[in-house]
Chain A
Amino acid sequence: EAEVAQSPRYKITEKSQAVAFWCDPISGHATLYWYRQILGQGPELLVQFQDESVVDDSQLPKDRFSAERLKGVDSTLKIQPAELGDSAMYLCASSYPPGPNEQFFGPGTRLTVL
């Protein structure tokens, strides 16, 4: 069964360090999403890609967060420098065709910033 892949599953870092997360969507899914979930809350969208283009990054803290999807397939989300408040679960999702269709989520990366 096709799944969204994410790595690493867990990451512990110290504040001010750089971290990166990787996501590989379901094959053929042109739309890719990165969400952040703080403990006890529902996930919130950080950035949405359609192929290699960003279509929504209105909630991405651009002073420290960046995201890319250079070839329109897998994607990397980076935080530099990490802050204590960035501790959260980072979830990647994908969907097809373009539009408000069913989204499928990966297992997530749990980030702890010390």
Chain B
Amino acid sequence: GIQVEQSPPDLILQEGANSTLRCNFSDSVNNLQWFHQNPWGQLINLFYIPSGTKQNGRLSATTVATERYSLLYISSSQTTDSGVYFCAVAWKTSGSRLTFGEGTQLTVNP
């Protein structure tokens, strides 16, 4: 079936390290968003990026829609970056509902 796959499932870093999170999706999409879920459960919007490249401070993201993947880059990681990162897509055939991946659990140690 159509699905969203995120890798790696878990990532442990030392403060200051860089990382790349990947999201593969199996069908054409109208929307792709990256979220950070904080320890209290709220989903924080990082990027709305159905295609192209965006940057926001230490974070950047690239979506290559024709190859059905997106990458989230975190540079100079900080302990406050810890949490779960979700990729979510809206399939072209399914309106605007978001289908989420299983997430990447990031732990940044001091």
Contact = CB atoms under 8 A, between A and B. Distances in A.
Contacts, number: 62
B42 A48 contact: no
Interface stretch (B60-68, B70-78, B91-99): B91-99
B103 A42 contact: yes
26 contacts: A33-B98, A42-B88, A42-B100, A42-B102, A43-B43, A43-B100, A44-B100, A45-B98, A48-B97, A56-B95, A99-B96, A100-B30, A100-B31, A100-B50, A100-B95, A101-B31, A102-B31, A102-B33, A103-B96, A104-B45, A105-B35, A105-B45, A107-B41, A107-B42, A108-B41, A110-B41
Interface of B: 4, 30-31, 33, 35, 40-43, 45, 48, 50, 86, 88, 90, 95-98, 100-103
Closest 7 CB pairs of A and B: A42-B100, A100-B30, A100-B31, A102-B48, A100-B90, A105-B43, A100-B96
